[in-house]
Amino acid sequence: MLHQQDVRPTVCQEASQSLRARDGAKRSLPNWLDQYSLHMPAITTVFTAFIVTRLAIFGVIALSLATVGIDRGLPMPRNAPPLLAGLLRWDSQHYAYIVEHGYDRVRTAFFPLYPLLVKGLSLVIGNVFVAGVVLSNVALLVALGYLYALTRAMHGEATARRAALYLAGAPAAVFFSAMYTESLFIALAAATLYHARKGHWARAACAGALAAATRNTGVVLSTVIVLEALRQGGVSLMLQRPFWASSKAQWRRLAVCRREAGSPSRARWYSRKHE
């Protein structure tokens, strides 16, 4: 009896620890997800925003095909799936031409990273247009993840959740699923901002360089990296508040100075003179 009483609590403790370990294994995530602040609620938010909005977009495309058709606008390529008709307009066909035939004089304005990635993916999928749409949607998912992680680090969980939902559900977010560079660029831009904020300078520089290879505006991200490095180095970048952005009392004082000085250009001089 004494032996059984000693063993019984031990068995219960082992069973309890086993259950806790199993539950913890279910809730645990890989280290690389935890590094990017992507815990389970974050993953749920990002995937929910992505799936719901993309289903809505493809539903509208299917409804349009059934009621209106695709006869208007640029002619559709022969090997393009009809369901993707609404996502393969204008620049999409220029990118498809670059992927299949290379650059010519007409298409030198398009930057190379997106066609290169589409080319590589099309070798696996077998269709340039499907590869382009798949790449754009995967890039959107990455962009939502980076935006969530960046916003959560700066403003908290609730704001991060809204930011992801607002980006995925914006009216212009339809272009994030089209065969355009928008989703790839915003993913790389968000990655640049996130890694710069975390002090991962090599990763931020790589993401910024890739963004510059996607769209010409990506060059501006180099300035963002420099400014963030200065901020983290203790260099104050806050400009002194101008005299017109002060308190209500100073606003009233400015109105008096303007009335006494006679013109807006002399108001600040008059204010300093009578301090």
| pLDDT tens for the chain, residues 1 to 275 | 444 444 444 545 554 555 454 444 444 445 545 555 557 778 888 999 999 999 998 888 888 878 876 655 556 666 777 777 778 888 888 999 999 999 988 888 899 999 999 999 999 998 899 999 999 999 999 999 999 999 999 999 999 999 999 999 998 999 999 999 999 999 999 999 999 999 999 999 999 999 999 999 999 999 999 999 998 988 866 655 554 455 556 666 666 666 665 655 555 555 555 55
Terminus-to-terminus CA distance in the chain, angstroms? Answer: 94
Looking at residue 267, its pLDDT comes to 53
Burial of 91 (0-12, 13-18, 19+ CB in 10 A): middle
Do 256 and 224 lie in a common domain?
no
The span from the CA of 89 to the CA of 43, in Å, is: 31
Do 93 and 139 lie in a common domain?
yes
Looking at residue 207, its pLDDT comes to 97
Do 151 and 214 lie in a common domain?
yes
DSSP string, 232-250: HTT---PPPPPGGGS-HHH
Tokens of 9: 């609590």
Looking at residue 30, its pLDDT comes to 52
The span from the CA of 179 to the CA of 34, in Å, is: 31
The span from the CA of 2 to the CA of 20, in Å, is: 28
The span from the CA of 46 to the CA of 145, in Å, is: 6
Do 174 and 248 lie in a common domain?
no
- Give, in degrees to the nearest 5, the angle at Cα 272 between 268 and 273: 115
CB atoms within 10 A of CB 227: 13
Do 87 and 203 lie in a common domain?
yes
Report yes or no on 31 lying in a domain: no
At 151, the amino acid letter reads T
Looking at residue 64, its pLDDT comes to 80
Q: How many domains does the chain have?
A: 2
Tokens of 15: 């069973």
The span from the CA of 176 to the CA of 173, in Å, is: 5
Report yes or no on 153 lying in a domain: yes
Range of the domain at 148: 36-232
**Would you call 264 helix, strand, or coil by DSSP?**
helix
Report yes or no on 10 lying in a domain: no
Do 147 and 76 lie in a common domain?
yes
The span from the CA of 71 to the CA of 89, in Å, is: 12
Looking at residue 234, its pLDDT comes to 84
Do 72 and 125 lie in a common domain?
yes
Looking at residue 42, its pLDDT comes to 81
CB atoms within 10 A of CB 103: 13
Looking at residue 189, its pLDDT comes to 97
Do 217 and 250 lie in a common domain?
no
Contact between 129 and 84 under an 8 Å Cβ cutoff? The reply is yes
Looking at residue 65, its pLDDT comes to 78
Task: Give residue 213's Cα distance to chain centre.
Answer: 17
Helices (H), 126-247: 128-155, 157-169, 182-198, 201-212, 221-232
